[in-house]
Amino acid sequence: MLKKSTKTLLVLLVITGSVIFLTACSSSSTSQEINDNDSTVDDTSLVKHDLTLESGVLTDVDLTLSLDGFGANGALMDTDLSIIDMLTYAIQDEYLAHAEYAEIIAIYGDQNPYSNIIEAESTHIASLTSIFETYDIALPQDDAVSYLIIPVSLLEAAQTGVQAEISNIAMYDLFLSYDLPDDIRAVFDSLKAASESHLLAFEKQVNQLS
């Protein structure tokens, strides 16, 4: 049997070890948060369609397509959104972002933040594509090239990126105010978080070039 003093010493050692472990975890978490805020971080891992979430059942009303425009700008003007409207506007806007950043890279070279973000946009499109497939909805045609804004400088390119991400975030905020199936909500929420990361990167770029 252990003496009382020995037991006390063991308890103190366990408590001390726990404190050291928790402190190390906290430091690691803080370091990760700092890295996540770096504008050059590739956030392609942020958006993953969680196939473990239960899909909902879409009604005829949910599947009634009546668009008022294209992408985020169309969504923000639309006063009668169905779920298929939201999905269509969302993938149009992700198509547009991918096409815009591809054009900027073609003109100004492969550089950050565009090279990282364009990879993320491909992941965003894939996430939405999986939702279209889950609900057996025809994938909208990618005609985003018709809506491109060609920047005349890297500063204008970054400013265009800022505005595009602000509109994209506002669009997902609007969508998330509706009653949605869990899997669709999860993708919209994740895409919004990714766009918030992109916005920080473009704002940093604007500040550097101004």
- Report pLDDT digits (tens) over 38-83: 434 444 334 443 444 567 889 999 999 999 899 999 999 999 999 9
Q: Which domain holds residue 142?
A: 51-209
Residue 74 included in any domain: yes
Burial pattern 154-172, b for ≥16 Cβ within 10 A else e, equals: beebbbbbbebbbbbbbbb
Site of tokens 């409207």: 85
Residue 57 included in any domain: yes
Total count of domains within the chain: 1
How big is the CA angle at 47 (ends 41 and 48), to the nearest 5 degrees?
135
Residue 42 included in any domain: no
Residue 190 included in any domain: yes
Q: In this model, does residue 2 exceed pLDDT 50?
A: no
CATH of the domain at 113: 1.20.1260.10
Residue 175 included in any domain: yes
Give this prediction's pTM. 0.75
For residue 12 the two structure tokens come to 């103190």
